[in-house]
A and B are shown apart, each in its own frame.
Chain A
């Protein structure tokens, strides 16, 4: 990919003609040529009335989990509340209609629903119901999912000790040969340690399932040192088939810390990649990780949010193969998102959740970043709107947060991008600190008369029998013409937030595509031929993909 300088970017911005959609509002930035999704905030009418709040421990966290908890394939929503109870919002939207959710309690002990910082959905016991991992200030909890969005504490059933740490990060993977997932918990400041909070980061924890008939996490392994992690993700960074654990850490509290990459080989103790392996020291206020393979070469890029610049890392192609040496391309790709893009505040931004997705269905990955001052940090922007960086064909990004309408004066934390109304366009939920949760319905490409249909899309659900029913760790390749789009099925990352369910892929002007799946054990599927603008269910071993239709 040709490098693009900021000078070039500026020139492009000047030369882009106003798109012929009738908009000339001088208060808004010029419309870029691609579709800008019109995001209509409708939390109140959708029935989502929820606030993440609390003292210092809840300056961080504020997660959201979207997953189907009642078998209708519509993504439901669970939101962390900090000192408020975490709540469940069951999706009652009609396809293509206004968003509508039914608010419910999680149905667990009231004290368990409090002090939640983040939530992650994953089917731990392979029963077909997604379970829910609650990250908490204090004891973490595994909730076993049941029919119709019911949950029960599975601590005893899964031999899970949630500890007493302040947990702010989570990731899971199914290690080769294991029936149940390996769970990684990232912890923040150890408040009980002498000198806290400075330099008193808790260790992190890796929980591998014991080889039994039921999930058994009674033998945790310590990932030490911990550097006050705020996000982690299992990632097959080197296409080895064995994901490593990438951890982003908050330099605000650690001493001698850095970003981390743990090698997690099945049956072996995890070990950190070191200088001798090529790992470079990077010190950021690491808040969130998003993985996205922008160029679909199989080697993912990572968006690491921080205070100030967002990092966009790509594997350095000039370095010897197999060495985790990363190059920051955020500047050349116009993705630093380092300060507010509207308003007069020139102070640095504070970034939290990050997520790659194709929000305008043009076939290119976009990048969402939740933003918001930690609390009242005077050296950082107070009005710090969330970013929506649209991917462009030259590999750069362009900011459209204001044009899309997501530039609210709220302190964003966690978020999820999911198609809640099942119309093919990704909607957005942002959990805000001490402010109402934002629920944006993606209405299509913004125009002077409202919105227009955007590009083509596919949404893909993977199924396999036995362990890892939802194929966590699988790779999905969607090929149309010369373009291949790559997605990973993941559990973890972001900022205390994640989505499980249909994997969304924008296909631009391609009206059909071939899908190939590399299942978590490395086996490749046949090519499935599908037409765009459909929900596709692929069951391992079947020769044909099936369509699913929402109602």
Chain B
């Protein structure tokens, strides 16, 4: 094994400039200059955040090129850096990837950061044993539709608070168990969402066999349809490699791989820590979807009726209308990532920015305690969504990261009207169809929906159609 560290690349990543884009007009690079993490220290002013977001947008919409290091001829799509045995036969390949030119190639409906229709589906595979799969046979990968990222900063903050809350409950139970000498069985609840229970024993052992909808480390991983991605930062690093072959130094660099050009495409330092931070800032500040007041009076009437039916059917049991968020301070890196994604302490000081400065955040309602009510229509919890009779959403064959094949994170419904098609495969074209596909934990609500008369079903759809993404 040789270290590859082309001089060109060295100059590129050491000669930081302020902007991620730009460069000479005739340059075939999408990234003119990289973002320096060393400038992202402590609380960012509104102007600094704005600049970072602009850099992030350049990167999010950049069509990466060979000169940037696109493609991964000798690396797989796996989130753990994994070498291929043979060079990839093609630079792009719609199944195993690399499968797109830009982030916005898929996240673009109805605007950059949005979702994607069926054509943007990706094929999720661990990428360890079948890096070359060239079939849509579900025994090799799970086909997933592109999620939207609007409001993602608030989603991550909610997940952080919930994880901290649950882990605090575990600590308290352990402390009590140790002090009392008796096992402590506790219910785990945060923000009104139950995550089952655990038992803490006096010797420090914890029985997690009765957890519900969360990983055993009590970290809520709010991103991806499966709910297995901890943070925007982790998602960004994963996706850059999987979809573009753009490898972030913080995971694929020499520190963890011994190789400055792990994918052996001749470009080292393809994505700096600062680049990832810019992409995170851009995603974290995407305006959340909201609920519109229809001009059409009939729609208004139906939506009001459907709003009530939503409750009558207990859809909100999982699709919680809103979750309270106490703190709008977004620290990047965040507190729950593991090695391979930049963590607090890996730099002398991380960046912090206040999402409450964003006008659309300031406009969100607050509860009596001053917490921002984030109207995501979700619970950030995983549920089984198929059963013996209703199987459509249980159509995957592969579990993912310890999560069973028919268990998924509750889809947040905010923006649902703007993000057809539906279902994790994006193969259900109507809301009616996807509601009917709900089995498992949602079976009762689904059955009640089917039992409604047509007008009531229409009213529910009309209500959901008010949940839109707008610029």
Where the two chains meet, the residues of A that have a C-beta atom closer than 8 Å to any C-beta of B are 2, 4, 8, 11-12, 15-17, 19, 33-35, 71, 73, 361-362, 392-394, 444, 447-449, 452-456, 480-483, 508-512, 529-534, 537, 544, 546-551
Interface string of B224-251 (1 = CB under 8 A from A): 0000001000000000000000000001
Known: A34-B258, A393-B257, A549-B204. A510 touches B80 (CB 8 A): yes
Partner of B82, one of A448, A453, A481, A533: A481
Contact A16 B3 (CB under 8 A): yes
11 additional contacts (CB under 8 A) given A452-B345, A546-B205, A547-B206? A16-B3, A17-B254, A19-B255, A33-B255, A393-B1, A509-B338, A537-B205, A546-B207, A547-B205, A548-B203, A549-B171
Q: Which residue of B lies closest to A542 (CB)?
A: B209
Q: Contact check, A34 vs B255: say whether CB atoms are below 8 A apart.
A: yes
A-B contact pairs, 20 of them (CB 8 A): A33-B258, A34-B255, A393-B259, A448-B348, A449-B348, A452-B347, A456-B338, A481-B80, A481-B126, A482-B128, A510-B80, A511-B339, A511-B340, A531-B219, A537-B205, A546-B206, A546-B208, A548-B203, A549-B204, A551-B178
| B126 CB to nearest A CB, Å | 7
Q: Are B256 and A549 in contact (CB under 8 A)?
A: no
B24 contacts the other chain (Cβ, under 8 Å)? no
Q: Among the interface residues B82, B208, B209, B258, which one has the most CB atoms of the partner chain A within 10 A?
A: B258
- Contact status A551-B1, CB under 8 Å: no
B407-423: CB near A (< 8 Å → 1, else 0) gives 00000000000000000
Q: Is B217 an interface residue (CB 8 A)?
A: yes
Query: Is the Cβ of A531 less than 8 Å from the Cβ of B217?
Result: yes
Cβ of B115: which chain A residues have Cβ within 8 Å of it? none
CA distance in complex: A481, B79 (Å): 9
B residues near A16, Cβ cutoff 8 Å:
3, 254
* With A482-B129, A508-B340, A509-B80 as contacts: A12 and B3 at CB distance below 8 Å: yes
- Tell me whether A509 and B339 are in contact (CB under 8 A): yes
B175 within 8 A of A: yes
Chain B contacts of A481 at CB under 8 A? 78-80, 82, 126, 128
Complex-state Cα separation, A537 to B401, whole angstroms: 21
CA distance A34 to B178 in the complex (A): 39
**Is A508's CB under 8 angstroms from B256's CB?**
yes
Minimal beta-carbon separation of A19 from chain B (angstroms) = 7
Nearest CB on B from A512, distance (A): 6
Question: For B205, B209, B259, B401, which residue has the most chain A Cβ atoms within 10 angstroms?
Answer: B205
B338 touches A533 (CB 8 A): yes
Asked whether, in the complex, the Cβ of A15 is within 8 Å of the Cβ of B338, the reply is no
With A452-B346, A509-B339 known to touch, is A534 a contact of B217 (CB < 8 Å)? Answer: yes
Q: B456 on the interface (CB 8 Å rule)? A: no
Q: Which of B171, B204, B254, B339 contacts A361 (CB 8 A)?
A: B339
Contacting residues, chain A, for B215 (C-beta < 8 A): 531
Chain B residue at minimal CB-CB distance from A546: B205
- Given A393-B259, A532-B338, A551 and B345 contact (CB-CB distance below 8 Å): no
Which residues on A sit within 8 Å (CB–CB) of B457?
none
- Chain A residues near B170 (CB-CB < 8 A): 549
A549 to B216, CA, bound (A): 13
Across the two chains, which residue of chain A brings its CB closest to B348?
A449
Identify the interface centre among A453, A548, A549: most chain B CB within 10 Å of its CB: A549
How far is it, in angstroms, between the C-alpha of A16 and the C-alpha of B170 when the chains are bound? 44
State the 3 A-B residue pairs at the shortest beta-carbon distance, nearest first: A509-B340, A393-B258, A33-B254
Q: In the complex the two chains form, what is the Cα distance from A108 to B206 in whole Å?
A: 36
Q: Which residue of B lies closest to A529 (CB)?
A: B402
Tell me how far the C-beta of A64 lies from the nearest C-beta in chain B, rounded to whole angstroms. 25
Scoring A362, A456, A481, A530 by chain B CB atoms within 10 A of each residue's CB, the highest score goes to A481
Q: Within the complex, what minimum Cβ distance (angstroms) separates A28 from chain B?
A: 18
Residue B260 interfacial (CB < 8 Å): yes
B452 at the interface (CB under 8 A from A): no
Q: Which residues of B contact A2 (CB under 8 A)?
A: 1
The closest CB in chain A to the CB of B129 belongs to: A482
User: Chain B: which residue is nearest A545 at the CB level?
Assistant: B216
B10 within 8 Å of A by Cβ?
yes
A99 CB → nearest B CB, Å: 19
Whether B81 sits at the interface, judged by CB under 8 Å, is yes
Chain B interface size band reads: 35 or more
- Provide the bound-state CA to CA distance between A456 and B338, in Å: 7
Nearest B residue to A507 via CB reads: B339
Q: How far, in angstroms, from A392 to B2 measured CA to CA in the complex?
A: 12
Which chain A positions have C-beta within 8 A of B462? none
Q: Give the residue name and chain of the A residue nearest to B338 (CB).
A: A511
The interface residues of chain A lying within 8 Å CB-to-CB of B230 are: 511
Min CB distance A455 to B, Å, is 4
Q: How far is the CA of A447 from the CA of B203 in the complex (A)?
A: 36
* Residues in B neighbouring A17, C-beta threshold 8 A: 5, 10, 254, 260
Which residue among B338, B345, B402 has the maximum number of chain A CB atoms within 10 Å of its CB? B338
Closest to B1 in A: A394
The reply to whether B206 and A548 form a contact with Cβ atoms under 8 Å apart is yes
B385 within 8 A of A: no
Q: Report the minimal beta-carbon distance from A326 to chain B, rounded to whole angstroms.
A: 25
Residues 253-283 of B contacting A (Cβ, < 8 Å)? 253-260
Query: Given A481-B80, A512-B401, A547-B206, A362 and B256 touching (CB < 8 A)?
Result: yes
Contact with A along B77-109 (1 / 0, CB 8 A): 011111000000000000000000000000000
**B257 smallest CB distance to A (angstroms):** 6
How far does the alpha carbon of A550 sit from the alpha carbon of B203 in the complex, in Å? 9
Bound Cα distance A17, B170 (Å): 43
State whether the Cβ of B58 lies closer than 8 Å to any Cβ in chain A.
no
By beta carbon, the residue of chain A nearest B10 is A17
> Which A residues touch B207, using CB under 8 A?
546
- Which B residues between 170 and 214 are near A, CB-CB below 8 angstroms? 170-171, 174-175, 178, 203-209
B205 and A548 form a contact (CB under 8 A):
yes
- Are B5 and A15 within 8 A (Cβ)? yes
Give B1-26 as 1s and 0s: 1 = Cβ < 8 Å from A's Cβ atoms. Answer: 11101000010000000000000000
The answer to whether B251 and A509 touch across the interface, beta carbons within 8 angstroms, is: yes
B256-A509 in contact (CB<8A): yes
Q: Is the CB of A549 within 8 A of B251?
A: no
Which of A455, A512, A532, A551 gathers most chain B CB within 10 Å?
A512
CB-CB nearest in chain A for B230: A511
B346 touches A453 (CB 8 A): yes
Counting chain B CB atoms within 10 Å of each CB, the highest count among A19, A71, A453 belongs to: A453
Measured CB to CB, the closest approach of chain B to A245, in angstroms, equals 35
A530 to B217, CA, bound (A): 8
Minimum CB distance partner of A15 in chain B: B3
B343 on interface, CB distance cutoff 8 Å: yes
Q: Within residues 113 to 167 of chain B, which ones have a CB less than 8 A from any CB in chain A? A: 126, 128-129
- Tell me which residues across on chain A come within 8 A of B339, comparing CB atoms: 361, 453-456, 508-509, 511
Write the chain B residue with the least CB distance to A530.
B216
Chain A residues with CB under 8 Å of B338's CB are: 456, 509, 511, 532-533
Q: Are A547 and B208 in contact (CB under 8 A)?
A: yes
A-contact 0/1 string along B53-80, CB 8 Å cutoff = 0000000000000000000000000111
Q: How far is the CA of A507 from the CA of B269 in the complex (A)?
A: 23
- Report chain B residues within 8 Å CB of A511: 230, 338-340
Quick one: given A393-B259, A508-B256, A529-B402, are A547 and B216 in contact (CB under 8 Å)? yes
> What residues on A are CB-neighbors of B5 within 8 Å?
15, 17
* Residues of the A chain whose Cβ atoms lie less than 8 Å from the Cβ of B203: 71, 73, 548
CB contacts (< 8 Å) of B128 on chain A: these are 481-482
Q: Which residues of B contact A394 (CB under 8 A)?
A: 1, 258
Chain B's closest residue to A394 (CB) is B1
Measured in the bound complex, the distance between the Cα atoms of B423 and A458 in whole Å is: 36
Whole-angstrom CA separation of A548 from B208 in the bound complex:
11
Q: How far apart sit A35 and B254, CA to CA, in the bound complex (Å)? A: 10
Given that A393-B257, A508-B340, A547-B206 are known contacts, is A480 also in contact with B80, CB under 8 Å in the complex? yes
Contact of A551 with B80 in the complex, beta carbons under 8 Å: no
Q: Is B216 touching A531 in the complex (CB atoms < 8 A)?
A: yes
Give the docked Cα–Cα distance between A362 and B339 (Å).
Answer: 9
Contact B402 A512, beta carbon cutoff 8 Å: yes
Query: B221 — nearest CB in chain A belongs to which residue?
Result: A511
